[in-house]
Structure 1
């Protein structure tokens, strides 16, 4: 089987909401996304449905140039590449298509974020927070990076995974393939 890759993007927009999270976590990044292309033209996560409203969240297809990130040009990030088999990647895309087709049925798991802080998983059907979603996609595809429930996975857990290869750290809009897309 040919070698394939997926990309895990951890980011920090610097908003009030993310600053509050960072006060507790003391981690440099508090948002996780998954992408299937090195240009990050399509990233998926659970986050803001409306860029200016952190309380209206759910499943989102993120676009660096026109979505929430476009409002926060000082966003910092770390980008990891992970080797996967063609079969694993195909499974991930099938799982993702379920989220895409049922986009309006998913909610942001605000209580799940609280659950992580008290070390007690809080899960609801069709409700995820960003790192829980990415971990869930990986788990359902047969990829286990940790011995914990997806509802307990934080962006910091991705930074500690030995299976992920760091390819970039810095400002999101300075990342080579993103920078090339800016008109």
Structure 2
């Protein structure tokens, strides 16, 4: 049975995003992955606290608050099999169990700038993490090293279908989940 997964690309307007955008010249510089169109569970590598961009790691992002409130976004879907969803759930469960050991791969961002792959143990930046999930789940195999994958590279993958582009709050308000977020998130890692 086939299902849809979602790629969320955002421009939050934060200082770090603006600095990255100066280099990339692309509209979106943060990538996340979600299991449903309501974006009730969104995973990435990013800030662990809203106020400090330098403390980062594996996060389940709260798209109802913080930097997402005023963000611009693009949303894409991809068709996956139940087996691929199971594999991704397994990988995410491992990240969740060891999340204190993971950190943000700031050095990897410099590697992208100079086209030099910089892979570090237990360290990812957002698009590297999303690409890792897709590769580990046998959904997409990328030609580039994962530590060079940008949000634009994800967006350009031919398997994605465009869903929406605009203000995140407008999309979210039109597609809210029926259940509150904390009820939905509990079930994701049960296999």
Alpha-carbon distance between aligned partners in 2 of 1:178 and 1:19, rounded to the nearest angstrom? 28
Report the equivalent of 1:41: 40
Report deviation, 1:128. 0.2
Q: C-alpha distance in 2, partners of 1:179/1:143?
A: 26
Q: TM-score, normalised by structure 1?
A: 0.92
- Of 100, 106, 110, the residue aligned with 1:104 is 100
Cross-structure match for 2:76: 80
1:34 deviation in Å?
0.4
- Residue of structure 2 in register with 1:165 after alignment: 161
Worse-matched range after superposition: 100-109 or 139-148: 139-148
TM-score normalised over the length of structure 2: 0.89
Of 110, 118, 121 in structure 2, the residue corresponding to residue 125 of structure 1 is 121
Unaligned runs of 5+ in 1: none
Deviation at 1:178, TM superposition (A): 4.1
- The structural deviation recorded for 1:149 is 1.5
Offset from partner CA, 1:131-154 (integer Å, 9 cap, x none)? 000000111111225211111100
What is the CA–CA distance in structure 2 between the aligned matches of 1:126 and 1:42, rounded to whole Å?
22
8 A Cα contact 1:7 1:81, kept in partner: yes
Q: For 1:21 and 1:178, how far apart are their aligned partners in 2?
A: 30
Cα distance in 2 between the residues matched to 1:63 and 1:125: 26
Aligned partner of residue 73 in structure 1, secondary structure: helix
Q: How many residues were matched structurally?
A: 178
Could you list the per-position Cα deviations for residues 153-176 of structure 1 after superposition, in whole angstroms to 9, with x for gaps in the alignment? 000012211110011101111002
Report the secondary structure of 2:175's partner residue.
Answer: helix
Contact 1:172 1:178 in 2 (8 A): no
RMSD (Å) for aligned C-alpha atoms: 1.7
Change (3 A) 1:49 1:145: same
Query: Matched residues in 2 for 1:103 and 1:166: separation?
Result: 31
